[in-house]
Chains A and B, each alone.
Chain A
Amino acid sequence: MGHFTEEDKATITSLWGKVNVEDAGGETLGRLLVVYPWTQRFFDSFGNLSSASAIMGNPKVKAHGKKVLTSLGDAIKHLDDLKGTFAQLSELHCDKLHVDPENFKLLGNVLVTVLAIHFSKEFTPEVQASWQKMVTAVASALSSRYH
């Protein structure tokens, strides 16, 4: 399992401090549904997902995206115990939501891409590396209680 150096933690925390969670959440979840349309299987109740613009403008997508990234933001405060932090959510995703953990990897990489768009030159290869560790660790924590 990835180990966060002090530098990783500083990078992750400082970048996150500049993220508008509401906007980034909508972007991230929206792009997941646009780029990997099969992920729409989990969101039948979300209404109009018929085109990229419908998805990106869908208020339920935005709201749920914000929820997801807010949870991620909470986890950033506990980078040394992501498994513990996500234990209940892991059970939820397995037992109630029935989400294939592969989707956590897809979402993580979409988030990295959204951060790259937002932070541009600042999103250097080094910064990306810290964030890839982050999304990998979150994906792993979220699948840790699957059975």
Chain B
Amino acid sequence: MSLTKTERTIIVSMWAKISTQADTIGTETLERPFLSHPQTKTYFPHFDLHPGSAQLRAHGSKVVAAVGDAVKSIDDIGGALSKLSELHAYILRVDPVNFKLLSHCLLVTLAARFPADFTAEAHAAWDKFLSVVSSVLTEKYR
């Protein structure tokens, strides 16, 4: 599965807007699965997960920054996320089902914050893009 030119254009242009709210988007993107899919918290026993937690904010920023890296290298997401892919495969070992949950919650965050931009076409492009990112992050699992 690879992104069409149109899809890449949609992602890249929306990212310009998204990056202006990167930090708050990051925090919200993590809060959502923790509430909607509480099992995702099992990967963070060492975190203070209360709203406003500095750890949550820092980690959210990390996640959004990584998505940004993928956007900036949208023609070679595998290359851009290679190290992260190894991290997830050998150290973090997050069960692959969770990438779908986090992707969905990132989509919901974007939809809520950029309703006018989140057309059906944009929705499809983002769902596909995050699916590619998730594949890259799990491709070294076995």
Using CB atoms and an 8 Å cutoff, list the residues of chain A in contact with chain B. Answer: 27, 30-31, 34-36, 52, 55-56, 109, 112-113, 116-121, 123, 125-126, 128-129, 132
Contact = CB atoms under 8 A, between A and B. Distances in A.
A131 to B, nearest CB: 8
Contacts of B107: 113
Given A119-B112, A123-B112, A128-B36, 16 more contacts: A30-B120, A31-B124, A35-B120, A52-B121, A55-B120, A56-B120, A109-B104, A112-B108, A113-B108, A116-B111, A116-B115, A117-B118, A120-B115, A129-B32, A129-B36, A132-B36
Interface in B113-130: 113, 115, 118-121, 123-124, 127
5 contacts: A52-B121, A116-B112, A125-B28, A125-B36, A126-B35
B115 A34 contact: no
B121 A117 contact: no
A116 B31 CA distance: 15
B17 interface: no
Contacts of A120: 112-113, 115
Contacts of A132: 36-37
Secondary structure type dominating chain B contacts? helix
A31 B35 CA distance: 25
B28 A35 contact: no
Nearest to A55: B120
Contacts of A118: 115
A87 B104 CA distance: 28
A5 to B, nearest CB: 13
B44 to A, nearest CB: 15
Best-buried of A27, A55, A121, A123 by chain B (most CB within 10 Å):
A123
Contacts of A34: 120-121, 123-124
A123 B121 contact: no
Contacts of B108: 112-113, 116, 123, 128
Given A34-B123, A56-B120, A129 B113 contact: no
B121 to A, nearest CB: 5
B63 to A, nearest CB: 15
